[in-house]
Amino acid sequence: MSTAIQSKSREVKTRSALNALRKDGYIPSVVYGYQTESTPIAIQERDLISTLREVGRNGVIKLNVDGKVLNVVLGDYQEDALKGDIRHADFLAINMTEELEVEVTIHLTGESIGEKEGGIVQQPNREVTIKVKPSDIPENIEVDVSNLQIGETISVGDIRQKSKFEILNDDDFALVSISAPRTEEELDEADATDGEPEVIGEKEEA
């Protein structure tokens, strides 16, 4: 990416001041990390959204802070539960020559044998932590489930040797499994439980 996101300095202010920034289309943010003191900034939300569409959630972003262009990655961020707007963002300044630990999404590919037989796909963990140079951070890691049968599980240990990245999770960290389809009896029991009347008059404990 050739164009850096422009930021402006801000002071840590009151909630009303932060809301005023957001009303003007800015995201209150902070940048910290490699050769960078923790600095409160504000950036245009549209600039961040546009950049993330280009480089991906884990991509390296160029951020202009007081005339100095930093290589950063998006760390934690807060979203408005109703509107989906980004309310605050943390940016981690990085050294492009050093590896860092990042979480990447597991993307399942293929239709498993077990699913074709009526099994239920379960994905207990949707991300893994990898150690990688910033320029090599993937958008996701693909896991082929085509040969997975009912009752079987794919864990980190099953993909570690095939992966181009150093995965830091334990071998038994489960990624996807195929459970047996529910029987008619189990479905009937679930329906019966869902249909039980609510007991009126009992006070819920805090």
Instruction: For domain 5-95, give its CATH number from 3.90.79.10, 1.10.10.60, 2.40.240.10, 1.10.3720.10.
Output: 2.40.240.10
**Mean pLDDT score, 193-199:** 56
19-57 pLDDT, tens digit each: 889 999 999 999 999 999 999 999 999 999 999 999 988
* Alpha-carbon gap, residue 58 to 91, rounded angstroms: 11
Q: Note the CATH architecture for domain 101-189.
A: Beta Complex (2.170)
Q: Characterize 94-128 residue by residue with b for buried, 16 or more Cβ atoms within 10 angstroms of its Cβ, and e for exposed.
A: beeeeebebebebebeeebbbbeeebeeeeeeeeb
Q: What is the pLDDT of residue 201?
A: 46
* Alpha-carbon gap, residue 36 to 30, rounded angstroms: 11
Asked if residues 23 and 80 have their Cβ atoms less than 8 Å apart, the reply is: no
Reduced to 3 states (helix: H, G, I; strand: E, B; else coil), residue 19 is helix
Q: Which structure tokens are listed for 124?
A: 């207990």
With 0-12 / 13-18 / 19 or more C-beta atoms within 10 angstroms meaning exposed / middle / buried, residue 11 is: exposed
Domain with CATH 2.40.240.10 in the chain: 5-95
Give this prediction's pTM: 0.74
**Mean pLDDT score, 159-167:** 95
Instruction: For the beta carbon of residue 168, count every other beta carbon within 10 angstroms.
Output: 13
Domain with CATH 2.170.120.20 in the chain: 101-189
Q: What is the pLDDT of residue 160?
A: 96
